[in-house]
Structure 1
Amino acid sequence: MRTVILKINAKKPQISGIRRAASIIRRGNLVAFPTETVYGLGADALNAKAVKKIFVAKGRPADNPLIVHVSDKESVNDLAGDIPQLAEKLISRFWPGPLTIVLKKSKTVPKITTGGLDTVAIRMPKNKIAQALIREAGTPIAAPSANFFGRPSPTLAKHVLDDLDGRISAIIDGGQTRIGIESTVIDLTRKTPMLLRPGRVTLEELQSAIGRVDVHPILKGKKSALVHRSPGMKYKHYSPDAHVILIEGQSALVHKKILKLVQQFGKQGKKVGVITIRGDKYTKNTRRVRTDSEFAANLFKIFRECDSKKIDVILVQGIPRKGIGLGIMNRLSKAARTKIMA
């Protein structure tokens, strides 16, 4: 299969390119497209055969649910069987945007789209290309991140091409995504809403909007028998080829630990990269991120850059688990093979 690249302006999407991509979706094939979070791999969410192609192209386990993307609030009524008042509050405040809500699914949604669950995860992206594609396709679009399963999520069209060239029909190149980590996911099928995956819409913002929100035990590092109603919960994710070591603790102690590890791995002949919030340059492959938003926007991009440079070990300084920091640390915890408390 030849994967076609469609260059489309992110601010003023050209309708000709959008229509070409939408026709591919309507024919039951796959198109990767940008959202404000990461690039998604899209198929007609209501076409079971088309959705199956997503799992095959990504090498994704069939029990890992997909997020269904819509272009208007009214579409939720077709996809969900029971829409609580809290959903209306969240939709009004955060849509379009990086928030996914989990509801009881309607009979319209195939089980393959929901990973076999009786719930459906829905969001309305803010990205203009994504919105135009969904509208022109005339159907909700199921779209996980457009990477091979377990790899760092793609924030550039090049990342998608690196992973899925020849496995999908087309990629819409709309430039770098803005947020850089996947959407926040909240489960509204419970008596008390539960945060399943943290992201740009923060726990604090959710609590401000609707009151109490429980946090899934997995996000606290605990085991749980609760059903995994969101992607990004059940399996190892976001991992580069390099060995990621996450180091948490007081900044000065983390600094000393990084210096020690850089020296230790250097003696072993290993190539080391460092991601830090400090100004220190530990190696020539040190990347400093000054804010949490900058960290989120560039995390997966840095992982992929390290792989392209054949970095053996990536040392990452942890940050406080508050605001978008909770989402960043969730991704780092999933990606890290080793975790150290300095």
Structure 2
Amino acid sequence: MSKLFSKEEINEAAKAINEGKLVSFPTETVYGLGADATNPEAVKKVYAAKGRPSDNPLIVHVADQAGVEKFANIDEQSKALMDKFWPGPLTIILPIKPNALAPVVTGGLNTAAFRNPDNAATIKLIQEAGVPLVGPSANTSGKPSPTKPEHVMHDLDGKIAGVLDDGETKIGVESTVLDMSGKIPSILRPGAITVDDLKEILPEVQTDHHQVGKDEVPKAPGMKYKHYAPNAQVYIVEDSEWPEVGQWIAKHANQIVGVMTTDATFRNNKLDSYDNIRYMSLGDGPESASHRLFDELRTFDQNLLINVIFSQKFDRIGIGEAYMNRLQKSAGNTYFSDIN
């Protein structure tokens, strides 16, 4: 059995980290699976616990900017980004110093991803342990990321020392990943820090949409392998398609169907008139939808009768870009128009 560490037990959680054990920690985005980033054997346990491919690099979590200087070269633009957005949901990929981190952390690359999370309990954990923490999402690889301690316990109970409990996370989707190791700054994974936010410091920033090849090592998590997928097949629904969705649901009255929309979309399309719907509200727009997405996909997983989930599409504006990135991966880029 894994332990739920209270915030009064951070010393005990830090001791477990120093002993080479795994401890899940809270951030403002999702819960991470922590191990001593300077201990290769401990890091290998992260891959084993998650069932994670070994060429999927890990993010190194630090307590402050100084925690990066030992490992990486920080240019002026990167420092300006840290000054503005740290602590916060921005991960920065930087060139690392020779032999500063083990290949098991970097995927064998000469770069590494660093983040200073905006969570006081985790900052204290890193300080007490005295080492940076690797921290992929604390879930079974490929499944929806954990936004609550109980999500971590569901997936990893008995596989890790414990979970530092700080309740539900604030944002609900993982950090923005920004690659500062090339000629042009590039967003490899969208998050709560948007393109417009970054353009204040990086006018030339771009979004990297290239597909990672089969034999290519990705620079950041979430670029190569299927992610965030519940047991049921997810279909993305355009605003204009909800009447057709209703017709499909009516024709499949003997099938329990999951539906995720804003309250207004659910109400305006009279979806409450179908008895075979199990509804999860996405609130009033992309921000609340991003916060709730993973939790609701996990809730649907608990209903073994549901094998189809219809979820609302949003415009890729602001955090809507991060929401759609995660939803498309959950759905395997499958839309209602693709349904048989």
Give the structure-1-normalised TM-score: 0.91
- SS state at 1:32 partner: strand
1:329 aligns with 2:324: yes
Tell me by how many angstroms 1:224 deviates.
6.4
Whether the 8 Å contact between 1:42 and 1:144 is mirrored in structure 2 is: yes
The one of 49, 74, 79 equivalent to 1:88 is 79
Q: In structure 2, what is the equivalent of residue 239 of structure 1?
A: 229
Structure 2 CA distance for aligned equivalents of residues 261 and 86 of structure 1: 51
Residues 136-163 of structure 1: CA deviation (Å, up to 9, x unaligned): 1100000100000001000011100110
Q: How does 1:1-342 map to 2 (within 5 A)?
A: 2-8=1-7, 14=8, 17-80=9-72, 82-106=73-97, 107-218=99-210, 228-248=218-238, 251=239, 253-264=240-251, 266-267=252-253, 269-277=254-262, 278-280=265-267, 282=271, 283=274, 284-289=277-282, 290-310=284-304, 311-337=306-332, 338-340=334-336
Whether the 8 Å contact between 1:70 and 1:124 is mirrored in structure 2 is: yes
CA 1:242–1:217 in structure 2 vs 1: closer, same or farther (change >3 Å)?
A: same
Whether the 8 Å contact between 2:147 and 2:172 is mirrored in structure 1 is: yes
Residues 196-239 of structure 1: CA deviation (Å, up to 9, x unaligned): 00001111111122211111124xxx676975210011000001
Q: Give unmatched runs, 5+ long, in structure 2.
A: none
Whether the 8 Å contact between 2:55 and 2:217 is mirrored in structure 1 is: no
Which 4+ residue blocks in structure 1 deviate beyond 3 angstroms?
222-227
Whether the 8 Å contact between 1:217 and 1:223 is mirrored in structure 2 is: no
Amino acid in the other structure paired with 1:302:
E
Query: How many pairs align?
Result: 325
Structure 2 CA distance for aligned equivalents of residues 175 and 127 of structure 1: 11
Q: Percent identity?
A: 43
- SS state at 1:113 partner: helix
Whether the 8 Å contact between 1:217 and 1:224 is mirrored in structure 2 is: no
Q: Give unmatched runs, 5+ long, in structure 1.
A: 9-13
Q: In structure 2, what is the equivalent of residue 11 of structure 1?
A: none
Structure 1 CA distance for aligned equivalents of residues 323 and 149 of structure 2: 22
Tell me by how many angstroms 1:309 deviates.
2.1
Structure 2 CA distance for aligned equivalents of residues 212 and 224 of structure 1: 26
CA 1:223–1:45 in structure 2 vs 1: closer, same or farther (change >3 Å)?
A: closer
